[in-house]
Amino acid sequence: MSKPRDENADNQAGSNRPKLALHVPEPRYRPGDTVDFSDLQISKAGDQPRPDETAEASETYPLCNDLIRVLGDDDKAHGPWDPRLDADTLRAMLREMALVRAFDNRMYRAQRQGKTSFYMKCTGEEATSVCATHALAGDDMIFPSYRQQGCLIARGYALTEMINQIYSNKADKLKGRQLPIMYCSKRLSFFSISGNLATQLPQATGFAMASASKGDSRIAATWVGEGSTAEGDFHSAMTFATVYNAPVIFNIINNQWAISSFSGFAGAERATFAARAIGYGIAGLRVDGNDPLAVFAAERWAADRARANGGPTLIEHFTYRAEGHSTSDDPSAYRSAEEQNEWPLGDPVNRLKKHLIALGEWSEDQQEAMDAELDAEVRKAMKEAEKNGILGHGLHHPFHTMFEDVFEELPWHLEEQAAQAIRERQIKFPEDPAE
């Protein structure tokens, strides 16, 4: 064994090396700081080349370090990634993004009013779910995280059903078992949301492998935040996807923040998230996540590639989480309040609105009327859902349902426990013999 180290010595004997230093990332702006994003590298819209969908994965490397953008400062579409969508599709996407925002705003207030325990908004990220979903086929399987309410809304899920779930009321299809916003709809090919981060990534890969093994045409698309790419499941999903050339799309929503940790804690200081794809032999694209046309175009490219047995694609959607992580979070405790307004890629809803106006297909008056109409639609759905109850006001599923679906059939030990729960209920509420 070597001699004990002198911890006070500036240098170790025989070496002029500096002491080792641990690097702990620090975000650029903390509460109270003045924000300046002017040095952020923002590519010019339309400048990015569009390789063929059959290109080798390695050919996409330049796009992993660039930013695919279609909508320019002039509100017009530019370059080879312009998906050339018709005005009706553009208006549909605008309407759905605006509906997501109206829904988020009302649900946030519902949580503050005590109608439910919890909510998570996706403000500023609406394009990454709504426009990506438009680029998929209706039966392609979506494996979402908790901030993809836009996928459900783009597939036409009834707002009342979403609110029933948020209120955990007697009409909640998930029977009040799940935390609010952990939606599930097999009919709309929207997989059950889990609280455990990144678990959906290998699952999406497995679904895609299954579809391929059956010679089907369905592909899988999954969404995850940039923070969750640090999970081991990200690595296993990428490995399986590349090994089996699985028809799967990985959407990484880089909104800069994982609760209070900035993206540096997921490795963003050294490499883009898109660039990780290349090491696995997977195609990678990095897009302006606030540019609805770029998001659509990248997702469609990846979907076409997957469907043609070209294999998986990772898309990094570069965006900004404009609001708190959840209703339990106060972002003013860890980041500058100026960030949201200074974010150089703007707001996705506003950008698509201005594009449609520039095309002569929309107007501020129409937008105003639509926003009012959407707000009324959300409020109507809320009233409808409230008839079925709000959280903690008695209108829930019968006690016995708590024990159902643990297994396909109720084993004896759960029957015994169900009987106990119902007995306890009768002691607590002797005047109410229901259930």
Partner 1 sequence: MTTDTAAKTPEAGKATGNVKHMNMIEAINSALDNMLERDDDVILLGEDIGYFGGVFRCTAGLQEKYGKTRVFDTPISECGIIGVAVGMGAYGLRPVPEIQFADYIYPGLDQLVSEAARLRYRSAAEFIAPMTVRSPFGGGIFGGQTHSQSPESIFTHVSGLKTVIPSTPYDAKGLLISCIEDNDPVIFFEPKRIYNGPFDGFYDKPAKSWKGFDEAQVPEDYYKIPLGKARTVTEGDALTILAYGTMVHVVESVTRAKGVNAEILDLRTLVPLDIEAIEASVEKTGRCLIVHEATRTSGFGAELSAMVQERCFYHLEAPIERVTGFDTPYPHSLEWAYFPGPVRIGEAIDKLLSE
Least Å distance between CB 178 and partner 1?
Answer: 5
Which C-beta is closer to partner 1: that of 169 or that of 336? 169
Residues lying near partner 1 in the complex (CB under 8 A) are found at 141, 143, 173-175, 177-178, 182, 184-186, 191-192, 194-196, 199, 201-211, 213-214, 220, 232-233, 235-237, 239-240, 243, 405-408, 411-413
Nearer residue to partner 1 within complex by CB, 93 or 220: 220
Nearer to partner 1, 313 or 319 (CB): 313
Residue type for 123, please? T
Q: Smaller CB distance to partner 1: residue 355 or 397?
A: 397
What is the closest distance, in whole angstroms, from the C-beta atom of residue 401 to partner 1 in the complex?
A: 9
**What gap in Å lies between CA 431 and CA 356, rounded to an integer?**
60
Partner residues linked to 224 by β-bridges: 252
Work out how close the CB of 249 gets to partner 1 at its nearest, in angstroms, rounded to a whole number.
14
Q: Smallest gap, in angstroms, from Cβ of residue 236 to partner 1?
A: 3
CA distance 330 to 323: 9
Q: Nearest distance from residue 171's CB to partner 1, in Å?
A: 12
Q: Strand 248-254 and strand 283-288: pairing?
A: unpaired
**Please, what is the minimum distance in Å from the beta carbon of residue 151 to partner 1?**
16
In which region does residue 424 sit, left (phi positive, over 0), alpha (psi from -120 to 50) or beta (all else)? Answer: alpha
Please count the CA atoms within 13 angstroms of the CA of 34 that sit on its side-chain side.
2
> Between 100 and 248, whose beta carbon lies closer to partner 1?
248
Measure CA 214 to chain center.
29
Which DSSP helix (H) or strand (E) runs through 261?
Answer: strand 261-262
Can you spell out the DSSP letters for 334-398?
TS-TTHHHH-TT--HHHHHHHHHHHTTS--HHHHHHHHHHHHHHHHHHHHHHHTT--TTSS----
Determine how β-strand 261-262 pairs with β-strand 257-258: antiparallel
For partner 1, the closer of residues 231 and 342 by Cβ is 231
Crossing angle for the helix pair 292-307 and 87-112, to the nearest 10 degrees: 110
Give the residue with the Cβ less far from partner 1, 201 or 356: 201
Q: How far is the CB of 240 from partner 1 (least distance, A)?
A: 5
